[in-house]
């Protein structure tokens, strides 16, 4: 029995068609596995490796290089706050303190209720609307003290 759902298997078949080698499908396949299992657990990495007939060490070696894969279990929502220079000068670091105060979440960690995980991001290309963050796949910018809380309250 496959580790992947039928929908994911179909997606993986489409992905493999785009590349002349199996290994090249590794990055997109890891995204599929992450969506399927929530994070890249050792089992998820093995499933990708088996599916692409690659050694698990090769897939793991690739996956761990990239910071946007979830290498551990995360909360229901992932907050990624940019604190690079253009965001820093507009107080992005203050937002981190606020998130700890309000939700008990610190960079690299998850809130006690499992609602939010928080990660510090390098530049997310929204420097003209600093500070900015991604929540899951949604992009939010011009973050103020009240604004960020209002936004996060809509993520249950």
Partner 1 sequence: MEYLLRNIDSPNSAEITEYEKAGGYEGLKKALKIDPKDLIELVKKSGLRGRGGAGFPTGMKWMFASADPKFPKYLVCNADEGEPGTFKDRPILEKNPHLLIEGMAISAHALKSEKGYIYLRGEYPYAKTVLEKAIAQAYKRGYLGADILGSGIKFDLSVHQGAGAYICGEETALIDSIEGRRGQPRIKPPFPVSVGLFGKPTIVNNVETLSNLPFIVEVGAEAYSKIGNPECPGNKLFCISGHVAKPGVYELPMGTTLRDIIYGHAGGIKNGKALKAVIPGGISTPVFPPDKLDCPMDFVSVPKFGSMLGSGAVIVFDETTCLVRVTWRALKFFEHESCGKCTPCREGTGWLRTVLERIENGQGRPGDVELLEDISKNIAGKTLCPLGDGAASVVMNFIKHFRGEFEGHLKGGCTFNAPEFRQA
| Residues of this chain that bind partner 1 (CB under 8 A) | 18-21, 23-28, 30-31, 61-62, 65-69, 83-86, 88-91, 93-95, 121-131, 134, 137, 139, 142-147
Shortest separation between residue 1's beta carbon and partner 1, angstroms: 25
Shortest separation between residue 68's beta carbon and partner 1, angstroms: 3
**What is the greatest pairwise CA distance in the chain?**
52
Shortest separation between residue 84's beta carbon and partner 1, angstroms: 5
118 close to 106: Cβ distance less than 8 angstroms: yes
Rank residues 26 and 105 by Cβ distance to partner 1 and give the closer one. Answer: 26
Rank residues 35 and 113 by Cβ distance to partner 1 and give the closer one. Answer: 35
Rank residues 1 and 84 by Cβ distance to partner 1 and give the closer one. Answer: 84
Tokens 């890891």 locate to: 30
Helix/strand/coil for 102: helix
Tokens 């590349």 locate to: 19
131 close to 82: Cβ distance less than 8 angstroms: yes
Shortest separation between residue 125's beta carbon and partner 1, angstroms: 4
77 close to 136: Cβ distance less than 8 angstroms: yes
């Amino acid at each position: 029995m496959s580790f992947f759902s039928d929908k994911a298997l179909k997606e993986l078949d489409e992905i493999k068609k785009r590349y002349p080698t199996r290994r090249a499908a590794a990055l997109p396949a890891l995204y599929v596995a992450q969506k399927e299992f929530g994070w890249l657990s050792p089992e998820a990495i093995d499933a990708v490796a088996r599916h692409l007939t690659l050694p698990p060490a090769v897939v793991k070696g690739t996956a761990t290089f990239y910071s946007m894969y979830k290498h551990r279990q995360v909360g229901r929502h992932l907050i990624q706050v940019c604190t690079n220079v253009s965001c820093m000068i507009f107080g992005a670091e203050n937002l981190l303190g606020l998130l700890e105060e309000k939700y008990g979440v610190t960079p690299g960690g998850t809130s006690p209720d499992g609602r939010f995980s928080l990660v510090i991001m390098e530049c997310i290309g929204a420097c003209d609307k600093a500070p900015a963050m991604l929540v899951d796949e949604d992009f939010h910018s011009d973050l103020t003290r009240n604004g960020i809380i209002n936004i996060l309250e809509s993520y249950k």
